[in-house]
């Protein structure tokens, strides 16, 4: 049975951010993830995790100015100093919260630009090495350009090749089923082939990005496949609830019942 982590950036929006930790725990989640913790001190995030008995699965390194349209800095050579400066705040939050891995966003750039490719490669290597010194993992995630126009890393094959080429033991793939289905399809065979380099999985219904009980992906089959492949990591629920978050959790409860009946 996958270990589900509620994404507090997208889920439980009926509550203020810090109140979402309690709401997730009350809804039966033992783990959470979110995009960015940097509006709150590390010890504040850590306290909300501890007080609610939650593990933290993942968060992102600083992405630049999100409100101004930045979606990461790694592929932007002119922003290298800013990327470097963001590593220490991320590490402080990681140390306080016990998160096992972080995600590095690539940014808005073209893969046809050799300077962007070189900058991204160097940035991933740099951040992986810095995080590795602290015993932390780093993930990179292909994201579809329909939802994030112009995003540099929009291809699973490119990500796979980079992970193999850099050969950092703490560098893995963030396999978001939502993005995989939109970009390439062939979710099951990709999971089977890429499982050795997958460090984190995320889910959402396709194409609307609501609960994983609607759309073109058969998630009960995907969950069974993850179990069959021996995936031990978290499955981040990075979806936008159709209505109230708790009212839409029937898919998770059904997955748990199915796991109990077949276990």
CATH number at residue 195: 3.20.20.150
Q: If we measure between CA atoms, which residue out of 96, 115, 99 comes closest to residue 107?
A: 115
For the question of residue 43 being annotated catalytic, the response is no
Which residue range(s) make up the domain with 176?
Answer: 3-262
Question: What's the confidence (pLDDT) of residue 216?
Answer: 98
Q: How many domains does the chain have?
A: 1
CB atoms within 10 A of CB 198: 18
For the question of residue 141 being annotated catalytic, the response is yes
Question: What's the confidence (pLDDT) of residue 256?
Answer: 82
* Catalytic residue, candidates 78, 95, 133, 141: 141
* Entry pTM: 0.97
74 CB contacts (<8 Å, ≥6 apart)? Answer: 83, 104, 105, 106, 107, 119, 120, 123, 124, 127, 152
Please state the φ and ψ torsions of residue 101, each to the nearest 5 degrees: -155, 155
List, for the chain, all residue ranges whose pLDDT scores fall below the cut of 70: 261-263
Which region, left, alpha or beta, applies to residue 185 given φ > 0 means left and ψ of -120 to 50 means alpha?
Answer: left
d(CA 153, CA 111): 8
Question: What's the confidence (pLDDT) of residue 258?
Answer: 79
Query: Is 157 within 8 Å of 138 (Cβ atoms)?
Result: no
d(CA 223, CA 262): 13
Question: What's the confidence (pLDDT) of residue 257?
Answer: 80
* Catalytic residue, candidates 14, 33, 225, 238: 238
């Amino acid at each position: 049975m996958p270990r589900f982590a509620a994404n507090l950036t997208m889920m439980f929006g009926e509550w203020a951010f810090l109140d979402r930790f309690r709401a997730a725990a009350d809804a039966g989640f033992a783990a959470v993830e979110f995009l960015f913790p940097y509006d709150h001190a590390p010890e504040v995030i850590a306290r909300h995790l501890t007080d609610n008995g939650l593990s933290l699965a993942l968060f992102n390194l600083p992405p630049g100015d999100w409100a101004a349209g930045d979606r990461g800095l790694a592929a932007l050579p002119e922003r290298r100093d800013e990327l470097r400066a963001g590593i220490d705040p991320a590490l402080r939050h990681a140390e306080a919260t016990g998160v096992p891995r972080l995600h590095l966003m690539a940014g808005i750039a073209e893969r046809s630009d050799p300077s962007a490719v070189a900058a991204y490669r160097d940035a991933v290597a740099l951040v992986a090495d810095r995080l590795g010194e602290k015993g932390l993992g780093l993930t990179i995630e292909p994201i579809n350009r329909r939802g994030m126009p112009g995003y540099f890393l929009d291809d699973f094959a490119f990500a796979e090749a980079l992970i193999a080429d850099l050969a950092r033991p703490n560098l893995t793939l963030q396999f978001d089923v939502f993005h995989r289905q939109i970009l390439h399809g062939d979710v099951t065979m990709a999971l089977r082939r890429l499982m050795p380099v997958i460090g984190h999985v995320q889910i959402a219904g396709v194409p609307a990005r609501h609960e994983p009980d609607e759309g073109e992906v058969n998630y009960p089959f995907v969950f069974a496949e993850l179990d069959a492949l021996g995936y031990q990591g978290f499955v981040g629920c990075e979806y936008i609830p159709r209505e109230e978050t708790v009212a839409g959790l029937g898919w998770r409860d059904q997955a748990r019942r199915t796991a109990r009946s077949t276990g």
